[in-house]
Chain A
Amino acid sequence: SQKIEQNSEALNIQEGKTATLTCNYTNYSPAYLQWYRQDPGRGPVFLLLIRENEKEKRKERLKVTFDTTLKQSLFHITASQPADSATYLCALGEAGTALIFGKGTTLSVSS
């Protein structure tokens, strides 16, 4: 069956450390993968997109990798801050279909 799994439901780290979130998938052939941030009671906000032929993407303190052999994407936040505390969702896009979302990982950054 098809699955999208984000490594853990919750991740707690200290301010200044690098947060690493994992997104694994099975029985999908995504053409691209996206990461979103969702704050409580709000709609998700787009962060980054990475395509199947790209290994890595960066945007300010964010970095995303995409390994289609391992069927995995890693999402890194460097020099994390309390304001980075939120739920982060990965989403897969296959050709011609709507985005499919993972359950999300809730990140808490303590000062």
Chain B
Amino acid sequence: GAVVSQHPSRVICKSGTSVKIECRSLDFQATTMFWYRQFPKKSLMLMATSNEGSKATYEQGVEKDKFLINHASLTLSTLTVTSAHPEDSSFYICSARSGDRGNTGELFFGEGSRLTVL
């Protein structure tokens, strides 16, 4: 199956700093990637849809100036949490569809990034 790699898997930062999380599709091209956030015992919450070569589409309630998304190539999307605060501590997961599976195909998820803001 297709592989999505996410890095770093864990990051601890001080309040007020920025953190960048990378999401790469290793063996397929992904014109669209999705960023999710997950709290303990809660469902995956879609934050934004990242489109290669254009601006990301953010879900209602997600601050686009705080969660910067860049999809510079067909295999890489990045999420930058700017001026992080303790309430931003969460599990962030990216996902992508392989183009040949169409719009209803399964999502391939990265391993997730656990962010802890002190």
Contacts and interface: CB of A to CB of B under 8 A. Distances in A.
Interface stretch (B36-44, B60-68, B72-80, B81-89): B36-44
Contacts of A43: 4, 6, 93, 95, 109-112
Contacts of B7: none
A8 B15 CA distance: 36
Given A49-B106, A93-B104, A44 B44 contact: yes
Given A98-B46, A101-B36, 19 more contacts: A4-B43, A31-B104, A32-B104, A34-B106, A41-B91, A41-B114, A42-B112, A43-B4, A43-B93, A43-B111, A45-B109, A46-B106, A49-B106, A51-B104, A98-B34, A99-B34, A99-B107, A103-B43, A104-B43
Interface in B1-40: 1, 4, 6, 34, 36
Contact of A89 (B43, B104, B112, B114): B43
Contact of A98 (B49, B105, B106): B49
Contacts, number: 53
B104 to A, nearest CB: 5
Interface residues of A, number: 24
B95 A9 contact: no
B109 A103 contact: no
Interface string A87-111: 0010001001011111110000000
Nearest to A42: B111
